[in-house]
Structure 1
């Protein structure tokens, strides 16, 4: 037994010592500098963008838009104890400099990363920092931990400013973030500009016993007395036994050069700090130019100006209609159309072809040359809140969706500031024009009950497809009457995916900003900001009651007791007078059983408690049955619920 104890103790000591040897130091990024590096210098894995200068400087990105730079330690490290699976303590120190292409305008940032692979397949540049993409951001299956040094404020991900440090877990929505700063020896906090171009040192320390992560930064060689960011964190659900460590940087429409000047890492130990006076210097971004050369170049430029004007005049028209193809567009699918095609299809985007407009811009009717197909062209305005992110999201989501009750995306185009999406043309317009009328406007066209019921069944089927039947979960986030379009046979098709969120089945959707339309917004969104399939169900409930009643969810001109549609319908239902809520324009011509089903389903979906609402699979089953007796009794709203 004594020998057994001795052997176990010796084995534990051996494992501990072995794990502590998982360390390396790069004072200059040369083949011979990495402690423990291979003889041929292959201890680092760099993608094609990354460059190592002769001085030993590692440059992750250049002054070029939409780049991704990856630099990883080639060998995976053992992050978990082989006995109990606990995550080891680790420490890393690195020196960096960020030089923006334009002063004070960063683009975008970089991150220290622990990832299951050095590939990070499918990752996008810009706000995704080369870590994730629109489809997998927020998914628990990513197993990615990162500390971001971000120089662009991204409102979609809730960034606090354009100069912050954040802790990211499987997401670009930081679990914790602070403005870049450091503490001096007297305890005073000092601001630190990440994109100043100066050398900055960062320390990332994880305490595996106390389960706390500390991030410290400074423009000096010595470590400040306290971290700028300290966050309780258990990494055991995030990290695999073996993981890769490294860095990821990206640029967007604006670019920055991200430099790594030195790097040290230690498992179960303290990574040594770097002396910033010894690290390699980065190239000057504003080298002085020879005065004589400038004069000669200026004279030459003047001589060439006349010829250039003539050439520019000739090429202006062609360049005016030229399309810009960027890397992110190549990942979205083969549906790109030329601007010239769309301009011809819409007859120059003339007002006579205008189908409608809103906060996003304008929608035009068009006929594609060659095929003769009628389409609707959504031209997003420069002032629209639906910018490049929503534009890409709509392409990436609806472009791959296939369902008879979804508006089909035919293609897209981007030309300078013009963002265009091309859809199937819906000759009967949007549903709201048939349901709601303004006193000052023309009378609305009649929509029969049979048509209304078929439209609701179609929209319910589309939402079931989005929530459960597609390869990912899609939350539409803007289900409302104006986003239900009607084809030639008055079938309802759900459209406008500009606010859609995609995540994997079984994952937890990330918290984001509240988005949607008043009256269709689930009450929990104002508290949590987290859109779920349940919030889509609530929106469908508001839509269903609107279809029955021919009224908007909120009628500001109605009597106080009738202003909120769901409250009014609920009172009428309790009083047994639910038939009185039916749209009077139907003239009593409707199927009583079907109307009762819709009213019950609409009230269930509109319940204040998300857990009480049915799923869209339940809703489809109730509507397909068409029997009110098969629909469960509508549960009463909680008396003390504060939505």
Structure 2
């Protein structure tokens, strides 16, 4: 008897296991009573009572995922060819503010259902360290309601196909084609249900995405991409959804979902799916109207009492001026920031200066760590610089710029809320008695990070942004020691091709370009001069100007130049490195620092050219001429090409700087005109 039972059990196992391993179809017309054995939710994702999945809520900078709990076989294990697949799902996005989305959601196929992604532009899929890696094996179709310049988004209402990155391989404004082939736009963040079909035909290697506001699938997809997914997909992967919010928040809802391998996904009917919440309509009944008329006299008396209360409240309330209504980032309440910083206690203080104080804080609702900059009443920065920082940094988004999350103004108190930079500012690692010594590899990476951010300000944004205060204390380091340029209180914006107007001279001694006191015109070239000072202090571990014996001052660029003339350039390198550095990189940074520090603005390279040099795409000459003795009509290209044709030896210490008459080779790549 026992033998028969064992045989029967083994037969059942043999029949049952293939069914699980070869699952090829899903169908959810709503998610009511769906358990964890079917769906894995994380972050803020919840199944609401009516059977709808709410991925995110109105909390800033959060993310969530909803994946089918078991992996699905997506490739022929013998041939390695990806199967065709089809998925249909209905979703809706309800924004906190109708005109602004934050941030987006995506249908995704991933190796894991526990993605280590970030919110905001990363949509909870990837992070700054793995975005773009082929090893991600990630396929996603994004529905993005925020335009991110770093990933080249076309607008704030688009659909994109993403392979291993958030920079879409193909994207288009959200919409659909009618029966007469007329394109109709769809507003993703309208709050109305949208039905989507994502289809992959492995016979022709074609990915297509189709949208519709109804249950009828249009014949023509809105977006198509020819690509073989076989190298991207693994044999078994997880299928599901990811969503995130940014500085502004949106609620992302999933109403229904179907999926099919080697066939069309089961049909979804929007009319039979649970619906997203809609704004409540206000109804005024006849009884209520009658009640109002009968109690009018009582209400008048109440108004007297309420008026006294309101007068006192308005007297103490924050006054919102016209310019504040045009500021983009989130406005926090004063009480919220006071609670986040524990009443601006001294133990939460991160740093202070002429501008005021910076406190560490934790936002009460989202529990996100932030840095709160509180501008003092006596600060020279004042209201004008405060507005400048909000209007400039609030619209900028780049991985090497400190992200402004929001702001607050309460009478004389001016506050800015930033991403918290766990490792503080760069200057504390370079000068004095730093507890932690940055390696050369870390320093060189930080230099390239700052160059990338500054290049974006000068050429990558819709306007030219002049920072005007580039220095080590304004370079902040996150928990991975990535460099981010911050403090935009002195920034100025102007249109590309325009001439920046004259302004008062601001900045920090040692970083000020020599033409500024004479002309009063800050420019991208004056930012480059300050960056040159930063390059030298990172390599040397010294400030641009510092006292030495007999009350004299050491000017860093002059000291480096003197050592260069003596053929002892490596003597200027920070002794804390103990000789552990790449000589070629150090020499290139020192040479570039002196070129950027040239007295003549026309000789300085643009930040785009600086990035190319740091990336090794273009080489500096072996020998340089002393800063400040060059023809003012000569440009950076002329300066490079004025040398001869001797070779550039990257491995020899003979590549130290010399006088202006020595011939040397330059890269064959030509720069554009300097700014």
Shorter-chain TM-score tier? 0.5 to 0.7
Q: Give the one of 242, 246, 253 matched to 1:248.
A: 242
Alpha-carbon deviation of 1:518?
Answer: 8.2
Q: Does 1:134 align with 2:128?
A: yes
Distance of 2:340 and 2:80 partners within structure 1: 44
Q: Does 1:451 align with 2:560?
A: yes
SS of match in other structure, 2:150: coil
SS of match in other structure, 1:567: helix
Distance of 2:42 and 2:394 partners within structure 1: 33
Correspondence for 1:104: 99
Correspondence for 1:323: 337
Q: Which has the higher contact order (CA 8 A, sep 6+)?
A: 1
Matches within 5 A, 1:156-305: 156-288=150-282, 292=288, 303-304=305-306
Alpha-carbon deviation of 1:247?
Answer: 0.8
Distance of 2:622 and 2:474 partners within structure 1: 23
SS of match in other structure, 1:167: strand
Distance of 1:147 and 1:262 partners within structure 2: 17
Matches within 5 A, 1:195-594: 195-288=189-282, 292=288, 303-304=305-306, 306-307=308-309, 310=312, 323=337, 336=350, 341-342=357-358, 348=377, 350-351=379-380, 381-385=389-393, 387=395, 389=397, 390-392=401-403, 399=424, 407=472, 420=487, 429-431=509-511, 433=513, 449-452=558-561, 519-522=605-608, 536-537=615-616, 541=620, 548-550=626-628, 558-559=632-633, 562=634, 564-571=635-642, 573-574=643-644
SS of match in other structure, 1:384: helix
Contact 2:613 2:620 (8 Å CA) reproduced: no
SS of match in other structure, 1:47: strand
Contact 2:351 2:357 (8 Å CA) reproduced: yes
Distance of 1:44 and 1:301 partners within structure 2: 54
Alpha-carbon deviation of 1:116?
Answer: 2.1
Contact 2:56 2:250 (8 Å CA) reproduced: yes
Correspondence for 1:30: 32
Q: Does 1:124 align with 2:118?
A: yes
Contact 1:379 1:420 (8 Å CA) reproduced: no
Q: Deviations over 1:52-100 (max 9, x none)?
A: 2222222222233333231111112222322233322221110112222
Correspondence for 1:89: 84
Go from structure 1 to structure 2 and tell me whether the alpha carbon gap of 1:450 and 1:281 turns closer, same or farther (over 3 Å shift): closer
Distance of 1:440 and 1:86 partners within structure 2: 66
Go from structure 1 to structure 2 and tell me whether the alpha carbon gap of 1:31 and 1:17 turns closer, same or farther (over 3 Å shift): closer
Name stretches of at least 5 consecutive residues in structure 1 with no aligned partner: 1-13, 33-39, 328-333, 355-360, 363-377, 414-418, 470-475, 486-516, 524-530, 576-599, 605-613
Count of residue correspondences: 484
TM-score by length of 1: 0.60
Alpha-carbon deviation of 1:114?
Answer: 1.4
Correspondence for 1:512: none
SS of match in other structure, 1:383: helix
Contact 1:380 1:420 (8 Å CA) reproduced: no
Go from structure 1 to structure 2 and tell me whether the alpha carbon gap of 1:387 and 1:164 turns closer, same or farther (over 3 Å shift): closer
Q: Does 1:42 align with 2:53?
A: no
Go from structure 1 to structure 2 and tell me whether the alpha carbon gap of 1:42 and 1:31 turns closer, same or farther (over 3 Å shift): farther
Q: Deviations over 1:105-158 (max 9, x none)?
A: 32222110112222222x332222222333433333433221011122222222
Alpha-carbon deviation of 1:178?
Answer: 0.6
Go from structure 1 to structure 2 and tell me whether the alpha carbon gap of 1:16 and 1:400 turns closer, same or farther (over 3 Å shift): farther
SS of match in other structure, 2:151: coil
Alpha-carbon deviation of 1:544?
Answer: 9.1
Distance of 1:298 and 1:99 partners within structure 2: 36
Distance of 1:49 and 1:150 partners within structure 2: 19
Distance of 2:110 and 2:562 partners within structure 1: 50
Distance of 2:333 and 2:190 partners within structure 1: 36
Contact 1:108 1:151 (8 Å CA) reproduced: yes
Correspondence for 2:469: none
Go from structure 1 to structure 2 and tell me whether the alpha carbon gap of 1:543 and 1:311 turns closer, same or farther (over 3 Å shift): farther
Q: Give the root-mean-square deviation of aligned CA atoms.
A: 5.4
Distance of 2:146 and 2:593 partners within structure 1: 33
Contact 1:181 1:189 (8 Å CA) reproduced: yes
Alpha-carbon deviation of 1:335?
Answer: 8.2
Q: Deviations over 1:233-281 (max 9, x none)?
A: 2323333332211111122233222211110011222212211111112
Alpha-carbon deviation of 1:483?
Answer: 8.7
Contact 1:431 1:484 (8 Å CA) reproduced: no
Distance of 1:323 and 1:454 partners within structure 2: 50
Contact 2:622 2:665 (8 Å CA) reproduced: no
SS of match in other structure, 2:60: coil
SS of match in other structure, 2:105: strand
Distance of 1:315 and 1:302 partners within structure 2: 20
SS of match in other structure, 1:341: strand
Distance of 2:474 and 2:78 partners within structure 1: 53
Distance of 2:299 and 2:234 partners within structure 1: 59
Name stretches of at least 5 consecutive residues in structure 2 with no aligned partner: 1-15, 320-331, 342-347, 360-372, 405-418, 432-442, 447-471, 479-485, 490-506, 522-528, 530-544, 546-554, 583-588
Q: Deviations over 1:458-506 (max 9, x none)?
A: 99999x99xx99xxxxxx9xx8779989xxxxxxxxxxxxxxxxxxxxx
Contact 2:76 2:82 (8 Å CA) reproduced: yes
Distance of 1:441 and 1:164 partners within structure 2: 43
Q: Does 1:69 align with 2:77?
A: no
Alpha-carbon deviation of 1:49?
Answer: 1.4
